[in-house]
Structure 1
């Protein structure tokens, strides 16, 4: 989890329409459709949803003093490994500089940013999930764990767990 002070400084840039000039500045590295960037959530990272050429994407960024670049690089390597497995995972999208991770300095700090393609499908609120949804969720989580168990040890470098 991030520090509340970090969350406060970024969320303070979000206006009444859920837009943020900080997120838009970061997305200049990837390009985006004008007026399509909206705050989605904050947890260990900040997440914004946006469109580029009409296609939905997600921007994920974190304060450089809270997450190490090597950790994010390891996450990207794992996602590239999972791309070739029988499980659908959101894949990172290279920036206009052909980088998966961009370090962006803003007026409120320096952030590591990654953009992901959106996966096809629906996202349900927890109260709308039925028994079949839970079954599919569990099966998919099991497939993910099985794929990660088969993952070569070299992909585990830079990750605590």
Structure 2
């Protein structure tokens, strides 16, 4: 997630028709005329869209983030994998090459240098958890296994969630020392999960998508095409499964919210990959993902009271509150996982 101050800075450049000189600067690298890109949203990256009829190449989504930031680095890494997978015939959305022939560009804008890519819209059906049945959940699991197979074999390397519980213990201890926060409960849970994690064999490593949720997939004739690979990287297969099914697990790891759909997903993944994901392993990786989000919270929630209360920033204050609630839920997941597993 981009820091709130970064999102607010971008929003100040957006006019009443959702145009921005920042997006125009990005668009020039893809020969998109000024005003052709319209603001869509900001989350892991800023996203602008060329609406239907606005470009002969179809509906296009420009995604960009500050080049020197963690978000920018993830966008560059994900776009490079995305481009490689598409060239290999994997079921991923098509990235549009810039006029220089590149899949990802570094572009100077009024808000500084941005890492940017442009992706074509994927035609197909968007599913959600409420509309799933067991067959669709199994197909979803199989689609993740197919992604892992298409990404190819990987060499062991630095993993995104490596030592995350260790880092959360240190983070909690620092908070306690610096801000007198009474969150010893979180520190104790992280310590217990860290001990368990050290004993766990990591299992097969894959080049994972990192966010294979349904909103990053479009379905056609029972097959999924994916996009938004910013969270991709080398990880245990079970960690990528845990990221994909977090809505099926919910906030109470000991009692999954959608047990039948979760079982079907795991069965579909297992049939296609030949791997069995143990429930304990799955829940530990789900907790690790929650811990990773907690560690990012202070960077994201960086807007001070004067910015949140400024005239016209009601949307920012609402987003701040929503994200604070989200991070509180991630804390609850870590605590619940420790109670169930440790």
Q: If the length of structure 2 is used for normalisation, what is the TM-score?
A: 0.39
Deviation beyond 6 Å, 4+ runs, structure 1? none
2:97 maps to which of 94, 98, 101: 94
Q: Which residue of 2 aligns with 1:38?
A: 38
Number of residue pairs aligned between Structure 1 and Structure 2? 158
Contact conserved, 1:104 with 1:113, CA < 8 A, in 2? yes
Seen in structure 2, the aligned counterparts of structure 1 residues 153 and 78 have a Cα distance that, compared at 3 Å, is: farther
Q: Which residue of 2 aligns with 1:130?
A: 132
- Aligned ranges for residues 5-154 of structure 1 at < 5 Å? 5-32=5-32, 36-50=36-50, 51-67=54-70, 72-83=75-86, 87-124=90-127, 126=128, 129-131=131-133, 133-148=136-151, 150-153=152-155
Q: Matched residue of 2:59: which SS?
A: strand
How many angstroms does 1:44 deviate by? 1.7
Seen in structure 2, the aligned counterparts of structure 1 residues 65 and 151 have a Cα distance that, compared at 3 Å, is: same
Which has the greater radius of gyration?
Answer: 2
**Deviation sequence 1:4-32 (CA, Å, 0-9, x none):** 11111112222333322211221011123
Counterpart Cα distance in 2 of 1:153 and 1:130: 35
Q: Matched residue of 1:14: which SS?
A: coil
- Which structure: greater strand fraction? 1
**Deviation sequence 1:19-56 (CA, Å, 0-9, x none):** 22211221011123675422222122111121431511
Contact conserved, 1:32 with 1:53, CA < 8 A, in 2? no
Counterpart Cα distance in 1 of 2:83 and 2:113: 25
Q: Matched residue of 1:22: which SS?
A: helix
**Deviation sequence 1:92-143 (CA, Å, 0-9, x none):** 221112222222222222211111122221335x476332554443332232
Counterpart Cα distance in 2 of 1:129 and 1:15: 36
Please report the RMSD computed on the Cα atoms of aligned residues, expressed in angstroms.
3.2
Q: Matched residue of 2:125: which SS?
A: coil
**Deviation sequence 1:62-114 (CA, Å, 0-9, x none):** 11221487654543332233225564101322111222222222222221111
Q: What residue ranges of structure 2 are gaps of 5+ in the alignment?
A: 157-206, 208-232, 236-342
Q: Matched residue of 1:93: which SS?
A: coil
How many angstroms does 1:160 deviate by? 6.4
Contact conserved, 1:87 with 1:140, CA < 8 A, in 2? no
Counterpart Cα distance in 1 of 2:74 and 2:109: 21
Q: Which residue of 1 aligns with 2:318?
A: none
Seen in structure 2, the aligned counterparts of structure 1 residues 18 and 5 have a Cα distance that, compared at 3 Å, is: same
